Structure 1
């Protein structure tokens, strides 16, 4: 494949799926938009470098989500890495809502705080299973683990989220997904 064709194909893929990748990254990063943007940029760079493999995949988007999720977990594991803390932006300056359009800002903040209280693998399971609505098998494939691990991580994560939301006096119903 010529470099021009490769680049054009990659640009088309990026235009079609960048928003989805940003939404996923925003949730994985618990609303830290700068971290989410870095995560997506790194993922897109990796995808471009491996484009010949990506384009042959059954689902290039699934390949991209897997790359994004693995990079997120790898970065979260780096104990020596120091994260900068930023102050919240004024509500009217917040970027597109990763939870859903039209969600009130208080609920958004509560959900992102609850997500940030989870470890990286549990957060990845919750985002993949409940926000992206992937089944257990696909989530396990993306995370490179067994279906049983996905189910147990999901159950622990939902229990933790329930406890977190109860302590913050927000009573949202989190239902287990079979």
Structure 2
């Protein structure tokens, strides 16, 4: 039995995980077009490092780390500080929770400070441990715990206020 070539193994991984990784990128940045750019950057870097990363079995963790770091790099660039585009005109995903629930959750996530958002996505959406999230974000485990706690509390408040029958009285 022959081993698949480098390109075949890489292509199989990308085909199997692309949609999931794109959603991760969207959760990090909040914009589908920027998520596509982040994912493309990550997949190019993954291809270059493929033999080493594939041997270690850390393909997805490597891509997630690149997505997070590429987003940090992009947010530091002056041209990214300007708001351009059509806002919320991106098409929604067709599976999972209802559009309204997803929209409320993503709006609440985008309202979080950037570092809290990244911690919440890594810890509670992707299920990474405190140690793994700390390593991917290059911060201490204590910082991950405090950002996670504050982020979840803020999400609970925002989402509870947006439920029908709750919130302010008019």
TM-score w.r.t. structure 2 length?
0.81
Whole-angstrom CA distance in 2 between matches of 1:86 and 1:118: 21
> Does the 8 A contact of 1:39 with 1:72 survive in 2?
yes
Structure 2 counterpart of 1:170: 162
Structure 2 residue aligned with 1:53: 52
More helix by share: 2
Runs of 4+ in 1 over 6 A off after TM superposition: none
* Aligned partner of residue 5 in structure 2, secondary structure: helix
Name stretches of at least 5 consecutive residues in structure 2 with no aligned partner: 165-170
SS at match of 1:50: helix
Equivalences for 1:97-112 in 2 at 5 Å? 101-112=95-106
The alignment yields a C-alpha RMSD, in angstroms, of: 2.4
Alignment of 1:110-125 (within 5 A): 110-125=104-119
Task: Give matches, 1:87-166, under 5 Å.
Answer: 87-89=87-89, 94-96=91-93, 101-165=95-159
Any idea what SS the aligned residue of 1:133 has?
Answer: coil
Rg larger for:
2
- What is the TM-score of this pair, normalised by structure 1? 0.78
User: 2:26 & 2:5 partners in 1: Cα distance?
Assistant: 31
> Whose relative contact order is higher, 1 or 2, with alpha carbons under 8 Å and at least 6 apart?
1
